[in-house]
Amino acid sequence: MSNAKYDICIVGSGAGAGPIIYELSKAGFKVLVLEKGPWLKTKDFTKDEMTATRRDAYTPHLKDERHVVEKKDSKGKWYAQSTEDTGSDLWNGSCVGGSSNFMSAYFHRLKPKDFRLKSEYGPIEGANIVDWPITYDELEPYYTKVEEIIGVSGKVLPHKNLEPRSTPDYPYPPLKTNIVADWFVEGGKKEGFNIVPAARGIISEPKDKRQPCYHSNYCGSFGCSSDAKASSRAALINIALDTGNCEIRPDSKVFKLENDSTGNISKVWYYDFNDMKQSVEADIFVVACQAIETARLLLMSKSDEFPNGIGNNNGQVGKNLIFAGGGAGSGSIRFDQLSTEDRAKFDAPLTFVNQTLLDFYEIDNAPELGERLKGGTIDFLIEHANPMPKAFRSKYKGNTLLYGSALKENLKDYFTEQKRVRYEIFCDWLPTDNCNVSLDETVKDKWNDPVGKVKLGYHEHDLIVGNYLAEQAEKVMKNVGAIDINRSINGNPPTNLIAGGCRFGNDPETTVLDKNCKAHEVNNLYVTDGSFMPTGGSVPHTFTIYANSFRVADKLIERLRMTSDLESIG
């Protein structure tokens, strides 16, 4: 295989990689993308539940690639287990476009105060809270760019925590919603809450070669068969390929970044489709292969200059891993409590609700929690259309496991006489010393490389905020007629929302990357997946990862053009 020199080599192809692939290809630079997974096209995505969510069709087989997860037991003692043994994994999507192919695509912006978390709300004992090295104003133009280029639908309505915007609205009108969306808005008004439309990274009108959402009702966790979902593959990479400047190498598992005597990366090594070792050279290297795997790759890339892993002489790679704090809850709306007309509208095969409550993004009216603290986001939903989870939930009535006729009756009731409505809560997962990534030297992957060891500790403050938000959500749930409401607010991380591990900042002693996501210790290495985030905010991370990647793309183009100009002068 050719070792041709490229302007830039990008490891990974998800939300942190897509904007750089797109912008640099369009700017005329030669771009190589090394993607560990296969190159699945739109036609390859199925709505079959067994394939998409019950098997590892889109993620690595745990016998081949696994993690070691470290948790506390009921007595507070840490223990470690391989995900091959437990069956629960930390993979979200391994293919061209990464997990952005399978996201639910709730696109909330961070708020200005998210960038000043420590300055605004002060320190919290046991939490490694810091301010960001950039401001909301620096990122705002790139949020706008994401909305236009990737395609975001919604409707901007005023609310007390609305962030400043340079445009009055989203470029695509809101998606169609179930009638329950209106009920949530009215249910919120009864409590004095202002529930507003939620933006989605899903187009409601045609764009380029992409078709609008056709409301299949199988969205989150499923690949999009119309390309309406704003995946890195559909929205960015497909366009980059049309320039002729972008090369994608799927089934290419990078295992080492090799540096020269100056500390710069000279080449990357990867296993190809046949598990043969290959290498490639480039001027600049970008790593964006998911926060856990990015930290793992840097830690595995050891040399005389970097005995603890490349860019890790300060020991910060893998530290301060974060997820999304909060949790979820649900309740049932019985059809026999509705009018014939409302039942028909509610039971229609239309599962989008797209309503969100942001009144409590900052909590200043709860004396029992303190004067003022950071809160979060509450999104309202209908349960996924997938039949299997519904069937699993029907196995019990109360605490009784059902069999035979009783199970059949419960299944029939669940599927034909009710529908569950849900809420999801997002609040800060505070970074701590007990949430990090290291290498496990005893458990290996199929290439005999050490797997990532992920320590999953959380801060109790996350649960305090999560439960307060759940109480507010459940007031609305009761107002729409939901019964049997339950909640799950705990320290179990949502593994589809992973960030941190290579936080950016101005101090080379305490951070891995500078404000432009370049490694402090390596002049030609950038990290642009969620790893850069020192705190996660109280929203899903993907929108911010996209925006930051567009921001870094501008810095890379500026750098490469400057280098080219200097070479032409020389």
In this predicted model, what pLDDT tens digit does every residue of 145-183 receive, in sequence order? Answer: 999 999 999 999 999 999 999 999 999 999 999 999 999
Same domain for 100 and 161, yes or no, is: no
| 17 in any annotated domain | yes
Same domain for 266 and 373, yes or no, is: no
| Domain termination residue (choose one: 447, 467, 492) | 492
Directed axis angle between helix 542-569 and helix 18-26, to 10°?
30
* pLDDT score of 566: 64
Within 10 Å of residue 175's Cβ, how many Cβ atoms? Answer: 21
* pLDDT score of 1: 38
Amino acid identity, position 546: Y
| 76 in any annotated domain | no
| 233 in any annotated domain | yes
Same domain for 50 and 167, yes or no, is: no
Tell me the pLDDT band of 371, cut-offs 50, 70 and 90.
confident
Tell me the pLDDT band of 570, cut-offs 50, 70 and 90.
low
Same domain for 172 and 270, yes or no, is: no
445-471 pLDDT, tens digit each: 999 999 999 999 999 999 999 999 999
Region 112-135: mean pLDDT is 97
Selected residue with higher pLDDT from 441 and 135: 135
CATH no. for residue 296?
3.50.50.60
* pLDDT score of 545: 98
Residue span of the structural domain in which 405 resides: 156-198+325-428+459-492
Same domain for 366 and 217, yes or no, is: no
Same domain for 21 and 160, yes or no, is: no
In sequence order, the β-bridge partners of residue 246 are 31
* pLDDT score of 398: 83
Q: Is the pLDDT of residue 3 over 60?
A: no
End-to-end CA distance of the chain: 32
Same domain for 141 and 210, yes or no, is: yes
| 239 in any annotated domain | yes
| Structural domains counted in the chain | 2
Amino acid identity, position 217: N
| 73 in any annotated domain | no
% pLDDT > 70, the chain: 98
Same domain for 57 and 206, yes or no, is: yes
Q: Is the pLDDT of residue 391 over 70?
A: yes
Longest dimension (CA), the chain: 84
Same domain for 105 and 163, yes or no, is: no
* pLDDT score of 492: 92
Classify residue 395 as left (phi > 0), alpha (psi -120 to 50) or beta.
alpha
| Domain termination residue (choose one: 467, 492, 517) | 492
In 3-state terms, the chain is what percent helix, strand and coil (to 5)?
Answer: 30, 25, 45
* pLDDT score of 568: 61
% pLDDT > 90, the chain: 87
Question: What letter would DSSP give residue 523?
Answer: T
Region 417-439: mean pLDDT is 97
Cα 510 to Cα 298: distance, rounded to the nearest angstrom: 16
| 173 in any annotated domain | yes
* pLDDT score of 126: 97
| 452 in any annotated domain | no
| 123 in any annotated domain | yes
What SS3 class is residue 295?
helix
Selected residue with higher pLDDT from 51 and 288: 288
Average pLDDT, the chain: 95
* pLDDT score of 442: 96
Q: Is the pLDDT of residue 143 over 50?
A: yes
Same domain for 194 and 224, yes or no, is: no
Any idea which residue has 């840490």 for tokens? 78
Same domain for 136 and 276, yes or no, is: yes
Same domain for 252 and 272, yes or no, is: yes
53-76 pLDDT, tens digit each: 777 889 999 999 999 999 999 899
What SS3 class is residue 140?
helix
